[in-house]
Structure 1
Amino acid sequence: MPHLPPAPDALDLPLRWNNRFATLGDAFFAPLSPTPLPAPYWVGTSAAAARSAGWDEALLRDPDVLQALTGNRPLTGSTPLASVYSGHQFGQWAGQLGDGRAILLGEVDGLEVQLKGAGLTPFSRMGDGRAVLRSSIREFLASEAMHGLGVPTSRALCVTGSDAPVRRETIETAAVVTRMAPSFIRFGHFEHFCHHGMPGELKILADFVIDHYYPECRTEARWNGNPYVALLAAVTARTAEMVASWQAVGFCHGVMNTDNMSILGLTIDYGPFQFMDAYDPGHICNHSDTGGRYAFYKQPNVAYWNLFCLGQAMMPLIDEQEHAIAALETFKDLYPQAFARRMAAKLGFTDVQEAQKPVIEGILKLLAADKVDFTIFWRRLSHWVADSSVKADSVRDLFLDRAGFDAWLLSYSELLTHIPRALAADLMLKTNPKYVLRNHLGEQAIQAARQKDFSVVADLLKVLETPYDEHPDFEAWAGFPPDWAAQISISCSS
């Protein structure tokens, strides 16, 4: 394995680096150093993410660390590299891809640390290896917001900025996000080695993933003792849970290509994402998605399709097609079960009962028909259940079809009589967030940051880290989006 020569100005921090991915071999990555940016500055930092990674949060105020996490100074013990993978994009085989602007520094206390936007790599293709302030703020806030919601996700340690120009549709400024996850291995890594006829490397990759992240697959008896079938089944289960959590909070990923799918069932690669305002199952958040492949209601089926791509890539290890299909078919039971659990919790029920099904289906139809604000509805319903002095009108007023809502509320109220109302209310207020990262809130943070005012980023982070709390000082952020929010265009460009 080639190594970069040690840098004389490397910053020595009290971090225990473990560069496990770098042991896989030359076929998996290219070693390289980040490309420096001039005059960097802090845009946002997450003390909670720092603590989760074993970092002293004081490091996120250190000017030397600022330089290191912008890519201007190496960190002692890190082994920077860009990994190669392939994948399907918008349903079409795209061939070789790879980390075009993400550089893996290594692993600290079980979390890989990546710099996104740190410059050209051998896999940048026609790109410049940079990320812009706009998209970097969105990814930073979304990562921590999703963690606050309890959705499986990568984390974001910080975002740094520079006034260096970056051309997109217009000239913007550069930024770097430091993001973390137990692993950034994707479905596309497996597709790469299968497509290129490299069964040895495919096995090395699968064994690495099993040994470090799914050790139970070595002893799983269900799949005839085949650890690779067990791995496919385990990834299927985690993916089902992840997507169910998306659907329950109204999250649209926007670009569910196989190279954006985590082998650990984590939400990664926040690009043209959106938390829905008005509930619309057909909502398309990515303006580049002209065919609507990644519309909100299609996300479970797309996840299933992507899992089949992973299964095909693993066939050299699995051998028997029926075993792979059996593992993949578990999605058809696991996803509905995961979604039903989450929807039951949103209604205040600790377990899933058959009688809940028409109530869940009924409210989703009503929400869609009247384009009711998804987050506000569930939060108002939670307060109605929690406080007998709250009138049902606070919820009814969200609907044009008042009679339809009243009929639904009667059915729901009958279910509530079978459980302690206080327990239902407590569960609902811990399940239905008051705050999500709506597009217009992200846009306000971006516009302020462009004027070097990073207070909105900091305040939003504070609220989104605990989105189930009331945060009375930020009540306006829990309200309806302004009319101009509908004009915000989010695409794959970042």
Structure 2
Amino acid sequence: MVLADRCVMPEAMRALAAPRFGALSAPFMQPVIARPLPNPQLLYLNTGLAQDLGLDRSWGDSPAALPLLAGNAPWPGQTAFASAYAGHQFGAWVPRLGDGRVLTLAEWQAPDGGPVELQLKGAGPTPYARGSDGRATLRSSIRELLACEALHALGVPTTRALALVGSSLAVMRDEPEAAAVLSRTAPCFVRFGHFEFHARHGSPQQLAALADHVIEHHFPYLVQQPQRHAAWLAEVIELTAALFAHWQTLGFCHGVLNTDNLSVLGLTLDYGPYGFMERFRPHHVCNASDHEGRYAYTAQPTIGRWNCARLLEACLGLLDKQPEMAREQAAALLLYYDEIYRSEVMRRWRAKLGLREVRAGDAGLLNRWLTLLQRGKADFTLAFRNLAGAIQIDPAETLILLPPGQDAALGDWLNDWRARLASEGAVPTERAAAMRRVNPRYVLRNHLAQAAIEDAQRGSSTKLQRLLAVLARPFDEQKGAEHYAAPQREGTELEVGCSA
């Protein structure tokens, strides 16, 4: 069977007559020819995702699938491209960035009617590579694959990983490393930085065309609204605030929250030096390159707001022709971020504590618990997970189950928490089950990712496949997987920087 005839382009994918973002052409993007990857080997294929996207069961077994996923062949009927964007990186304006080692290989319509973009990361340099080799390492590719699939299983909006292709090619970073190409998908990959780029370097018509493209294809219910751009920006701000709230309540730290790494669809995008916080520290910094702690855990919500402010600045001309009126609208929209974030983060914190009703003392109860975690150097994920088992058991056993220490303070908090649950008429077994549905047993810990990477560097994907299987069911107790829930010993945490 010839892949281009039937397997790659089934009828569900033919329904989209032309590419979407690619149809915008220059100056939004430039065509790219991928650089062939020598000796490609398919290390991972997300078969479930492939079927969801409209690729049939035989797709991954076809002899033409690997060349496509490696960047060694073009997608039939489409031209690969890289897009232009700018951004604020660690607070500093960088006028020209763009897809330096990423190209969009294909766009189509999934069986559910939703748009799909397929990108290759590491398939060689693009016009925006700024002197880099355009390659990705096996190490960084595995980290991104694991992160996006782990967050997806946790219910966090994210890009997805379709496939990982390894190679005998070595690329130089701090030392020679194996190269790889990661295939990732999303409805679109438009970033805040796209709007910053066209606001600074383009025309008002160009900026409006980009916004209208995003609205038409991803927010179509806003097309007929008279103030569609303001309504769209409100949606982006809401999605962003909700995303940051979700991260905070899972202890997830992105690491590089530049404006060029924020999606206008509220997706977690571009995984570099990320990390799930283990020992609870409000000022935890997961990026070893972030020496000033700009993107520390406790700073993330404020950074989300700051980045939304930069997007609004770029889009002032879309809000009103009068600068003063546009600034007033932008200021009101930025306040909306605060409103959504406060509401969403407290909704999620309440669920993690097993609380259903909204009461005035909720923030105080939460902060007392987090203070106990900090003082006791508790593992964030396990402390919340174990709390579900502390609803009924004897106080002495509870102090053993929960790691924070300071028995008197913990005992007082437990009494107040249990009293609060009782005042809501909580059925302990039902409330504990509800807590376990939102407090994961398993998250992607850096030492687990590193073990999978080292295994893959030795030529095996066994640990990668096993880890992905565990992370796909983060809320379930899995027999034989106990060590996947265990934190790294204090003082042995891995540091992750920005090299890729």
Q: Same fold (TM over 0.5)?
A: yes
Q: 2:9 aligns with which of 7, 14, 17?
A: 14
Q: Distance in 2 between matches of 1:272 and 1:461?
A: 19
Q: Distance in 1 between matches of 2:408 and 2:57?
A: 53
Which residue of 2 is the match for residue 66 of structure 1? 66
Give the drift of 1:63. 4.1
Q: Distance in 2 between matches of 1:386 and 1:432?
A: 18
Query: In structure 2, the residue corresponding to 1:392 is in which secondary structure?
Result: helix
**Pairing of 1:275-294 with structure 2 (within 5 A):** 275-294=276-295
Gap regions ≥5 residues in structure 2: 321-325
1:102/1:114 contact within 8 Å kept: yes
Matched, 1:377 2:378: no
Which residue of 2 is the match for residue 142 of structure 1? 147
Query: In structure 2, the residue corresponding to 1:308 is in which secondary structure?
Result: helix
State, as a whole percentage, how many aligned pairs show the same letter: 41
Q: Distance in 2 between matches of 1:389 and 1:282?
A: 31
Query: In structure 1, the residue corresponding to 2:214 is in which secondary structure?
Result: helix
Give the drift of 1:383. 2.8
Q: Distance in 2 between matches of 1:403 and 1:47?
A: 51
**Deviation string, structure 1 residues 229-284 (Cα, Å, up to 9, x no partner):** 11111100000100000001000000000000000010000000000110111011
**Deviation string, structure 1 residues 352-388 (Cα, Å, up to 9, x no partner):** 3323222111111211222210011111112333878
Q: Distance in 2 between matches of 1:150 and 1:187?
A: 23
**Pairing of 1:299-310 with structure 2 (within 5 A):** 299-310=300-311
1:86/1:191 contact within 8 Å kept: yes
**Deviation string, structure 1 residues 87-126 (Cα, Å, up to 9, x no partner):** 1100000111100011101223222110011111000002
Which residue of 2 is the match for residue 399 of structure 1? 404
Q: Distance in 1 between matches of 2:317 and 2:363?
A: 41
Q: Distance in 2 between matches of 1:54 and 1:23?
A: 21
Q: 1:392 to 1:313 in 2, by over 3 A?
A: same
| Partner AA of 1:120 in structure 2 | P
Which residue of 1 is the match for residue 236 of structure 2? 235
1:9/1:74 contact within 8 Å kept: no
Which residue of 2 is the match for residue 355 of structure 1? 361
Query: In structure 2, the residue corresponding to 1:115 is in which secondary structure?
Result: strand
**Pairing of 1:80-159 with structure 2 (within 5 A):** 80-108=80-108, 109=110, 110-159=115-164
Which residue of 1 is the match for residue 323 of structure 2? none
| Partner AA of 1:45 in structure 2 | L
1:386/1:426 contact within 8 Å kept: no
Gap regions ≥5 residues in structure 1: 1-7
Q: Distance in 1 between matches of 2:39 and 2:4?
A: 18
Q: 2:430 aligns with which of 405, 423, 427?
A: 423
1:11/1:68 contact within 8 Å kept: no
| Partner AA of 2:330 in structure 1 | A
TM-score, length basis structure 1: 0.93
| Partner AA of 1:371 in structure 2 | K
| Partner AA of 2:125 in structure 1 | L
2:3/2:63 contact within 8 Å kept: no
Give the drift of 1:158. 1.4
Give the drift of 1:325. 1.3
Which residue of 2 is the match for residue 264 of structure 1? 265
Q: Distance in 1 between matches of 2:393 and 2:476?
A: 16
Moved more, 471-480 or 170-179: 471-480
Q: 1:462 aligns with which of 456, 469, 479?
A: 469
Which residue of 1 is the match for residue 478 of structure 2? 471
2:3/2:64 contact within 8 Å kept: no
| Partner AA of 2:145 in structure 1 | F
Q: Distance in 1 between matches of 2:50 and 2:145?
A: 13
Matched, 1:164 2:157: no
Query: In structure 1, the residue corresponding to 2:174 is in which secondary structure?
Result: coil
Q: 2:211 aligns with which of 203, 206, 209?
A: 206
| Partner AA of 1:363 in structure 2 | W
1:87/1:192 contact within 8 Å kept: yes
Matched residues, number: 481
Give the drift of 1:421. 2.0
Query: In structure 1, the residue corresponding to 2:480 is in which secondary structure?
Result: helix
**Deviation string, structure 1 residues 447-475 (Cα, Å, up to 9, x no partner):** 00001110111011111111111111211
**Deviation string, structure 1 residues 198-247 (Cα, Å, up to 9, x no partner):** 21110100001111112233455xxxx41111111110000010000000
Which residue of 1 is the match for residue 341 of structure 2? 335
Q: Distance in 2 between matches of 1:147 and 1:390?
A: 37
| Partner AA of 1:150 in structure 2 | G
Give the drift of 1:26. 1.3
1:9/1:73 contact within 8 Å kept: no
| Partner AA of 2:410 in structure 1 | F
Query: In structure 1, the residue corresponding to 2:164 is in which secondary structure?
Result: strand
Q: 1:312 to 1:445 in 2, by over 3 A?
A: same
1:347/1:424 contact within 8 Å kept: no
Give the drift of 1:81. 0.5
2:399/2:405 contact within 8 Å kept: no
Q: Distance in 2 between matches of 1:113 and 1:163?
A: 24
